[in-house]
Amino acid sequence: MEDKIFAVLVDADNTSYRYIKTVIDELEKEGVANIRRIYGDWSRLSSMREAALDNAFVMFQQTAYTSGLNSTDGAMIIDAMDILYSGNVDGFCLVSSDSDFTRLAQRLREAGKTVIGMGRKGTPKAFVVSCDRFVYLDVLTKEEKTEPKVEAKPTAKAPTKKRPKGKPAAEEKPLDNSKLAEKVDPVVEPIVETTREATTIEEPTAETESSITPISEIHAFLTEELDASSDDDGWMLLSELGHRLQRRFNDYDPRLYGCKKTLGLLEKLETFEFKSIPDPNNKAVNGKLVYVRNRT
């Protein structure tokens, strides 16, 4: 099976330069980004210019001719339609958090093209649902926070008394450990568990509730889907359930809720049970097929 060919169009005026590599990494899971274009006013986007060059994007200068009007949007839309009619791609990746691209996403899907949207949390719902799949870049791209190193100040040495010449050294008295223990409290190091995974699901903040699907809706869908579409014993293949989940919520990503995979999310919801069997075709991960059903 050949990889799908995508055209990636980035609204640089509405996207951080930190997300550019993440865009390409995520898109490689879907296909190949043969066309890479990025639009913006490069007179004020020096950091984005470097990120664009590092990831093989062709940069298009878009000057704001009139205050309040975004010429970048118009340029992206025109180019998207030109690429569509060329017939050289299977899909588009629109990188922006701007709802102005809602109609473009709808039009491209009407033409039978796969549309993947990428933007920040808080992207208007209209744009999110107009894409086949939407990826929240600020969830995937986390800035590394490092504590500043503080150099320890050298400890001053206590002055030593010089012994007069010819005078024998005084006999040292043994240290009374019992009296020292009365004055000095023992230091107890806290035991920190670092191997246990978090047992709670991260809910989206109030600022992003309008764009990210609440976990309660996902939980309800999973429960209803298992009741309606499972076998006589209530079991359904996890991969099939995950596919239906992605098709129902195009912005679904377990990483939005603090989990790496769908299996981890279902385990933390604590209302499902699982079983695994050997894969007769040996195509599944680790040679096993995982099934899930509602806990009775």
Other residues' Cβ atoms within 10 Å of the Cβ of residue 47 = 11
User: Quick check: pTM over 0.75?
Assistant: no
Contact 112/75 with Cβ under 8 angstroms?
A: no
- φ, ψ at 127 (rounded to 5°): -70, -40
Buried b (16+ CB within 10 A) or exposed e, 211-233: bbbebeebbebbeebbeeebeee
DSSP 274-291: EEEEE-TT--SGGGEEEE
pLDDT at 141: 75
Using a 10 angstrom Cβ sphere, with 0-12 exposed, 13-18 middle and 19 or more buried, the burial of residue 171 is exposed
Spatial separation of the C-alpha atoms in residues 67 and 143, rounded to whole Å: 33
Token digits of residue 73: 């949007």
Going residue by residue through the chain, which has 296 residues, state the pLDDT in tens, using 9 for 90 and above: 578 999 999 999 889 999 999 999 999 988 999 999 999 988 888 899 999 999 999 999 877 655 444 678 888 999 999 999 998 999 999 999 999 999 999 999 999 999 999 999 889 999 999 999 999 998 887 643 333 333 334 444 545 555 555 555 555 455 454 443 444 343 333 333 333 334 444 544 444 445 788 899 999 999 999 999 989 889 999 999 998 998 888 888 898 888 889 999 999 999 999 998 887 776 655 678 899 999 87
Rg (CA), the chain: 30
Q: What Å distances lie between residue 136 and 104, 120, 146, 161, CA to CA? A: 19, 5, 24, 68
- Helices (H), ranges, 118-236: 125-129, 137-140, 177-183, 215-229
pLDDT of residue 64: 61
Place of tokens 């769908």: 262
Residue 26, number of CB atoms within 10 A of its CB: 18
Per 3-state DSSP, what percentage of the chain is helix, strand, and coil (rounded to 5)?
Answer: 40, 20, 45
CATH numbers and ranges of domains, the chain: 4-140 (3.40.50.1010), 206-294 (3.30.420.610)
- Helix 262-269 vs helix 238-248: crossing angle, to nearest 10: 90
Q: How many angstroms separate the CA atoms of 53 and 57, rounded?
A: 6
Per-residue pLDDT at 161: 52
pLDDT of residue 166: 55
CA angle, 94 then 96 then 98, to 5°: 120
Judge whether 93 and 118 are in contact, CB under 8 Å.
yes
Report CA dihedral (288, 293, 295, 296) to the nearest 10 degrees.
-120
pLDDT at position 165: 56
User: What is the structure's pLDDT at 4?
Assistant: 92
Please identify which residue in the block is written with the tokens 């995950």: 242
Q: Kindly report the number of other CB atoms within 10 A of residue 128's CB atom.
A: 24
pLDDT for the residue 3: 86
**pLDDT at residue number 184:** 39
* CB neighbour class for 241 (10 Å; exposed up to 12, middle 13-18, buried from 19): buried
Which position has the token pair 């009619």?
A: 85
